Amino acid sequence: MEQKIAELRAAAQAEIAGAADLKALDGVRVKFLGKKGRLTELLRGMNQVNAEDRPKIGKVVNEARAEIEQLLADKNSALKAQALQDKLASEKIDVTLPGRKIHRGHLHPLTLTLNRIKEIFIQMGYSVEEGPEVETDYFNFEALNLPKDHPARDAQDSFYITEEILLRTQTSPVQARVMQKNTGNAPIRMIAPGRVYRRDEFDASHSPAFNQCEGLVIDKGITFSDLIGTLDFFCKQFFGEKTNIRLRPSFFPFTSISAEVDISCPICHGASDTCKVCHGSGWLEILGAGEVHPHVLEMSGYDSSVVSGFAFGLGVERVCMIKYAIDDLRLFFENDVRFLNQF
Ligand code: DAH
């Protein structure tokens, strides 16, 4: 009997030591200590042992059980520690690796330009207004002193949806919309940026869809010199302090005194015959402007004997191209990241 116990002890020791994981170890436990385990079976054989030997043998059996239990518990802790160790090793992260770069998008150059334009006028107290891109003939032309058969309509070849509805050819209709929304001779100081459409070629300097920013100021005592001062301030803010403006006489049906406004070339300041932006002329046209025509005021409910105003319409792509020396308008619409990443 003692011999058997010694063998069983040795076998249990070896198997516990050799258990590769917790599951195998539990198998060993069942094999030796379980209900049908080897030690249990040995105990069942105790009745064949002499009565006087029983206490001695019983002691040896108990010692064997205690030892096996202890070995199982130790091995269990060792395997658990090992499992944790393995888990930590397999999930190790290298905190010294550089982080993954997140590619942030950014605003399109035209959006940046529009934002800057808005910023400059907002600081002068202007509101920012909107009008529909699908516009009525009335607001796009008639309310701006361009009746149906007016020859100046020819300059703005339009996309008509019906006889009376078209894609707006200019942001000027927002002038009439805002005036008609107001009552009495309420002062107006607004800009209206937005997209406009004309039946144009799509080439380096034309696009059938482009952006304008309209401006309108109406109040008592507004004069042409207010217009000049405002545009001069805007251009200096937008293109730089050294920028000057130049006005050339022009014609627009909705302004009584009309001008086309040029800026001195912000790239070469008129100093280079080979300047890619102004081509040596030193001046660049950026907008049309004028004193609001009395008839336009009257048509939209203002009393032209009490108030006066000025208006202007700025080409957004144009000022953006000048500012960043971009030589092809199509770049704005092609979504080429090599171009867009530069802003
Ligand atoms: N709407 C004109 C155009 O698209 C630009 C313009 C000229 C707007 C003079 C104005 C203005 O408000 O006063 O050509």
Confirm or reject: Cβ of 313 under 6 Å from ligand 1.
yes
Rounded Cα distance between 341 and 343, Å, is 6
Pick the residue whose CA is nearest to atom 5 on ligand 1. 313
Distances (CA, A) of 254 to 60, 225, 272, 296: 117, 18, 37, 6
Cα–Cα separations (whole angstroms), residue 62 to 39, 42, 56, 156: 10, 11, 10, 108
Determine the distance separating the centroid of ligand 1 and the alpha carbon of 172, expressed in angstroms: 6
**Cα-based torsion angle of the residue sequence 27, 32, 34, 35 in order, rounded to the nearest 10 degrees:** 140
Q: What is the pLDDT along the chain (343 residues), one digit of tens a residue?
A: 778 888 888 888 888 989 888 888 889 889 988 888 888 888 788 788 888 888 888 888 888 888 898 988 999 998 899 989 989 989 988 889 898 898 888 899 999 999 999 999 999 999 999 999 999 999 999 999 999 999 989 888 899 999 999 999 999 999 999 999 998 999 999 999 999 999 999 999 899 999 999 999 999 999 999 999 999 999 999 999 999 999 999 999 999 999 999 999 999 988 889 998 899 999 999 999 999 999 999 999 999 999 999 999 999 999 999 999 999 999 999 999 999 999 9
DSSP output for 207-218: -SEEEEEEEEEE
What is the C-alpha separation between 146 and 158, in angstroms, rounded?
Answer: 14
As beta bridge partners, residue 127 has 190
**DSSP 8-state symbol, 189:** E
Token pair recorded at residue 303: 């009393």
Q: Which two tokens stand for residue 284?
A: 């660049």
Q: Which of 84, 322, 329 is nearest to 202 (CA)?
A: 329
Of 203, 137, 145, 144, residue with least CA distance to 167:
137
> Does any ligand 1 atom lie closer than 6 A to the CB of residue 252?
yes
Centroid of ligand 1 to alpha carbon of 197 (angstroms): 14
Q: For residue 292, how far is its CA from the centre of ligand 1 (angstroms)? A: 11
